[in-house]
Structure 1
Amino acid sequence: MACVRTAFWLAVLPTILLPTSKAGDWPQILGPNRDGVAVGEQLLKSWPETGPETEWTAGVGDGFAGVAVKDNQVIVFHRTPSHEVVQALNAATGKEVWSSSFPCSYQSGMSSDSGPRCVPLIGDGQVFVLGVEGDLRCLDSATGKQVWHRDTSKDFSAPEGYFGVGSSPVFFKDRLIVNVGSRDNAAVVAFSTKNGETIWQAFQDTASYSAPVIATINGAAHAIVVTRLHTVSFNPDDGAIRFQFPFGARGPTVNGATPVVMGDHVFVSASYRVGSAWADVSSNKPEVKSLGEHFLATQYATPVAYGDVLFAVDGRQDVGTASLKCISPAQQKTLWTKTGFDYGTLVRVNDELLFLTCGGELIRIAADKTEYREVSRATVLPATPRGYRLPALSNGRLFVRGDRQLKCLRVGEGE
């Protein structure tokens, strides 16, 4: 394995912030830096024994998409039987600000839920959503009025995945980078945020359910995308490939977790007999170490970094129970494992972790690489076998979504 460089250990955010994002925003999947880490948040010292206070609840429709939050506005992307609905709620009260709906006929043959899957994206007065049928829409964030629309599945002849479209787009400057999944040199496409026009398209592979990330590695910008069978970095300015390596497996498999950038290394993981990989990407010829399923095989929950370690959920939501792990990918070492959990997702707030399980439990854990230390736990949502939605944390409020309700919990200090 290539030696680990000093820069790896520096506490430098590898990702590029969204336009005008600030502390307290959660304007995209996995938060301000798309890494599951809250910025500018402080948890309350303790919560009541029954769990955090519920400030409000709101009814929601179908869909696995978590919410995005910016400027005191919560964007919910959900489904009625015949439409996809984008709804803006007041973050403090849960009251509706606006709602827009668009026809949708998709029905999943693999899941009881028919979308949408992608977390909304908010920036510079616009809301972007990617629907389960591949409809990419830009809406005005003040009114919900549609500014432009692209049918990515039709425009690029992208085949339908197992669960429809489900990879949340990412911003870079004046463009959205989307894991479209076309074999016709359009696995990944960059669209203008202004009018939806195609800026560039590149690579040949079908899509995954992993969200792309933007990172700066050795001074260069990278758009890192996990496709169906590869991990690929593109120059986000023009689509030129900076590096690539195989990742994934043919057959009934899914890549769902977002890649994690740690200095000049990239960590990726998937379930379904795929396992994990640790890649030195300091050059255009990455050195890749396969770490296998025994190290980590996470179905869709993205590992969360803290210094030189990762906290991760190991296992599958649909098979058995899950484990929490603290791992050192550079050392290829598991530091501790705690078994017996429902599957779920992690958010890091300073030196603590919030673990929201699919069974509706919220578990507060110390981000300690020496041992598992639980601070508290409480049931905050009804137990459900479909609790895939990612939470969002903004100004001390944690937004958690169940099958039929969105709940706002007071977990930290804020407005």
Structure 2
Amino acid sequence: MNRLAFALVALCCACNSGPVAKDSEKASPDTKPSDTRKAGSDWPIFLGPSSNSVSTEKGILKNWPKEGLKVLWEVEMGLGYAPVVISEGRLFHFDRFGKNCRLTCRTSETGKLLWKFDYPTDYQDYYGYDPGPRCGPMVDGDRVYIHGPEGMLHCVNVADGKLIWKVDTAAKFNVLQNFFGVGSCPIVEDDLLIVQVGGSADEAPPNDHLKAKGNGSGIVAFDKKTGEVKWKSSDQLASYSSPVIKTIQGERWGFMFARGGLVAFNPKNGKVHFEFPWRAKFRESVNASNPVVVGDEVLITECYQIGGALLKVGKDKPEVIWSDEKKGREQSLACHWNTPIHVNGYVYGSSGRHEAQAELRCVDWKTGEVQWSQKRLTRSSLLLVDDHFLCMTEDGELILLEVNPKAYKEVSRWRTDLVPPCWAAPILSHGLLYIRGKDRLLCCELIPNK
């Protein structure tokens, strides 16, 4: 596999920075966050409360100063690419420091350290990327869950970081290391923690995931309070996409864009409704973008060869509405790790495998027809808020765009000084915007106090 080309040098533009928190700082004896949050909503799971990178907050600052948004605080990050999450005044980030993976809890308003939880890891990446976590934390009530790059699954207490339970999924389900380790975030459904595991049959050659075959643990549901396995399902191996659960015609459906394609399942018991094969026809390829569910239709997309497909859900098999599989270079939407966003009959996302080739696109949801494309933004992630997109490029630029299916309309732009790669999608919670790069996390004021 060709290594992704990205710059590893700091960009030299000024920003209005707040205090920098150091990794050596000590936890506060008071583990309670201050209750000074603005109006707004929490962001407790990957891609937000609706799993689609959409915020309901209003009143964002649209005309940005030349020096960029006001930075209220910032903190040095460890190794990894994981986004942060926000719950009830607490911010959680999951990184690697030395030989330990670490979950850190801070006050979301000030960045003050509340507690740390860490565990030893020996994960090394096959392709030379850094060995830190790929998955962000996930908060559910008084518990927070982390899924490490080596496959360790931990549940800890939100208030103080004390361990509640843990499972070594690699050992328990015979998971062979994938290209870039584990990169699928868990999700909670009722009393279950649903995880893409992707264990392999015993006859698989040791440490050769390319020849592995599934052993029925493609998707595993754990009791969220105890870690006990409640059900497991599918022979699919793991991808870098995360599970999505939605209600369709009054029933709960789960969707997992696994290594070999889309799996539709019943999240209560794991029963598979259908599997839809969708993967590039060469071994060194991955699926990473989350399924996008609108009504009874599901969009899947990958960037290595066959692009996107829109499916109409059915219990026996899905109906293909449109597909990029035979379009060659004329594919509609070929997303890498970013998850596209649907707005009013159109879907917006970064299309293209490599940094220089990536284009931000608007595509007609029903037909797959490209409405417009914008080059030279590198690969990027989107957040929808207040009738605008926040576009975070991998080289550290933050761009505010109108939601417009007719043309690319840029409103403001800020070249941050974050060190690339900036692969985590931006996060908005209670008026504060959180963006991270290789080196630091910035907390910025996007919705000013009135």
TM-score under structure 1 normalisation?
0.91
What's the counterpart of residue 295 of structure 2? 263
Cα offsets for 1:4-34 (capped at 9, x unmatched)? xxxxxxxxxxxxxxxxxx9511111111101
What's the counterpart of residue 437 of structure 2? 402
What's the counterpart of residue 338 of structure 1? 374
**Does the CA-based 8 Å contact 2:78-2:132 persist in structure 1?**
no
The alignment covers a number of residue pairs equal to 392
What's the counterpart of residue 291 of structure 1? 324
**Does the CA-based 8 Å contact 1:309-1:328 persist in structure 2?**
yes
CA RMSD of aligned residues (A): 1.5
Shift of 1:319: 4.3
Shift of 1:265: 0.4
SS of structure 1 residue aligned to 2:154 = strand
What's the counterpart of residue 312 of structure 2? 280
> Are 2:152 and 1:115 aligned?
no
The letter for the 2-side match of 1:63 is G
**Does the CA-based 8 Å contact 1:137-1:150 persist in structure 2?**
yes
> Are 2:338 and 1:301 aligned?
yes
The letter for the 2-side match of 1:113 is D
Cα offsets for 1:122-163 (capped at 9, x unmatched)? 111110000001111101001011100011111111121000
> Are 2:43 and 1:34 aligned?
no
The verdict on how the C-alpha distance between 1:148 and 1:103 changes in structure 2, with shifts beyond 3 A counting, is same
The verdict on how the C-alpha distance between 1:286 and 1:23 changes in structure 2, with shifts beyond 3 A counting, is farther
Shift of 1:290: 1.8
Q: 2:166 aligns with which of 124, 130, 149?
A: 149
Q: What residue ranges of structure 2 are gaps of 5+ in the alignment? A: 1-38, 200-213
Q: For 1:177 and 1:30, locate their aligned partners in 2 and report how far apart those are by CA, in whole Å.
A: 16
Structure with higher Rg: it is 2
**Does the CA-based 8 Å contact 1:185-1:203 persist in structure 2?**
yes
Q: For 2:259 and 2:140, locate their aligned partners in 1 and report how far apart those are by CA, in whole Å.
A: 28
**Does the CA-based 8 Å contact 1:218-1:282 persist in structure 2?**
no
**Does the CA-based 8 Å contact 2:169-2:197 persist in structure 1?**
yes
What's the counterpart of residue 415 of structure 2? 379
> Are 2:186 and 1:169 aligned?
yes
What's the counterpart of residue 76 of structure 1? 93
Shift of 1:350: 2.7
What's the counterpart of residue 5 of structure 1? none
Shift of 1:379: 1.1
Cα offsets for 1:228-255 (capped at 9, x unmatched)? 0020111011010122211113411010
SS of structure 1 residue aligned to 2:375 = strand
Q: For 1:243 and 1:128, locate their aligned partners in 2 and report how far apart those are by CA, in whole Å.
A: 28
Q: For 2:256 and 2:185, locate their aligned partners in 1 and report how far apart those are by CA, in whole Å.
A: 11
> Are 2:227 and 1:191 aligned?
no
Q: 1:296-335 to 2 correspondence within 5 Å?
A: 296-316=333-353, 318-335=354-371
Q: 1:40-59 to 2 correspondence within 5 Å?
A: 40-59=57-76
Query: Following superposition, which runs of at least 4 residues in structure 1 exceed 6 angstroms of deviation?
Result: none
TM-score under structure 2 normalisation?
0.85
Q: 1:253 aligns with which of 273, 279, 285?
A: 285
